[in-house]
Amino acid sequence: MSTVSNAMDNIEVRPLNFDVDKIEGQNPVWSRSHPLFSIYINALAIHVPYFERYLVKGLRSVKDQVKNERLRQDISRIIGQEAHHAKNFIAINKFLAKRYPEVVKLDGQAKDYFEASLKNDDIKKILGIIAGYETFTYMAGMIILNNYDQWMQDADPVLRSAWVWHQVEEVEHGSVAFDVFRYFYPQDHGYRRAMIIKAFFHIAAETIPGYVTMIKKEGYLKSPWKAAKAFGFFCNFSYQLAKSALPTLGKNYHPRNHPMCSTTQSPIAISWRKFYSSGEDVLQMDNEQMEKMMNTGNPV
Tell me how far apart the alpha carbons of residues 103 and 234 are, in angstroms, rounded to a whole number. 18
- Residue 128 exposure: Cα atoms within 13 Å on the Cβ side: 19
Total-model pTM: 0.92
Q: Is residue 204 located within the same domain as residue 268?
A: no
Q: Is residue 226 located within the same domain as residue 299?
A: no
pLDDT tens series, the chain, 300 aa: 334 467 788 899 999 999 999 999 999 999 999 999 999 999 999 999 999 999 999 999 999 999 999 999 999 999 999 999 999 999 999 999 999 999 999 999 999 999 999 999 999 999 999 999 999 998 898 899 999 999 999 999 999 999 999 999 998 998 999 999 999 999 899 999 999 999 999 999 999 999 999 999 999 999 999 999 999 999 999 999 999 999 998 888 888 888 777 656 788 888 999 999 999 999 999 999 999 998 875 443
Q: What is the DSSP string of 67-115?
A: --HHHHHHHHHHHHHHHHHHHHHHHHHHHHHHH-THHHHHHHHHHHHHH
Does residue 200 lie within any of the structural domains?
A: yes
Q: Is residue 149 located within the same domain as residue 179?
A: yes
Does residue 17 lie within any of the structural domains?
A: no
Q: Is residue 133 located within the same domain as residue 204?
A: yes
Tell me how far apart the alpha carbons of residues 136 and 241 are, in angstroms, rounded to a whole number. 7
The number of domains in the chain is: 2
Does residue 102 lie within any of the structural domains?
A: yes
Does residue 271 lie within any of the structural domains?
A: yes
Q: Is residue 232 located within the same domain as residue 272?
A: no
